[in-house]
């Protein structure tokens, strides 16, 4: 019978729950998620322009939704900034509350 072993020491559930959340990892994860959603909405708005499914998200982060290049640049930068602001607000509060 074969036995699988790993080099990592087993971590307890308590250790994993009390370890602090990483600000940089959370910031990058939120940036990827929000920028990905914006690009998906932007593509959907240009593929199906009569649908109002994605236009609200695009107008939230872009000043000129009719200019394709400017919309993409403003949207990506706006979502990245919003993600980092959210991470800067969320992570310290989470770490403070999780430590209790």
Percent of the chain with pLDDT over 70: 81
pLDDT at 2 over 80: no
The model's pTM is 0.73
Mean per-residue pLDDT over the chain, rounded: 83
Q: How confident is the model over 48-96, as pLDDT tens digits?
A: 878 777 777 787 878 877 788 888 899 999 999 999 999 999 999 999 9
CA distance linking residue 76 with residue 31, whole number of Å:
9
Q: What is the CA radius of gyration of the chain?
A: 20
Q: Which run of H or E residues covers position 29? A: helix 23-47
């Amino acid at each position: 019978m074969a036995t699988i072993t790993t080099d990592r020491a087993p971590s307890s559930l308590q250790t994993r729950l009390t370890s602090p959340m990483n600000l940089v990892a959370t910031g990058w994860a939120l940036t990827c998620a929000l920028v990905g959603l914006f690009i998906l909405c932007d593509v959907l708005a240009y593929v199906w322009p009569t649908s109002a499914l994605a236009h609200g998200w695009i107008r939230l982060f872009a000043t000129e939704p009719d200019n394709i290049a400017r919309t993409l640049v403003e949207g990506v930068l706006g979502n990245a900034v919003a993600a980092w602001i959210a991470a800067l607000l969320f992570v310290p509060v989470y770490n403070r509350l999780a430590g209790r």
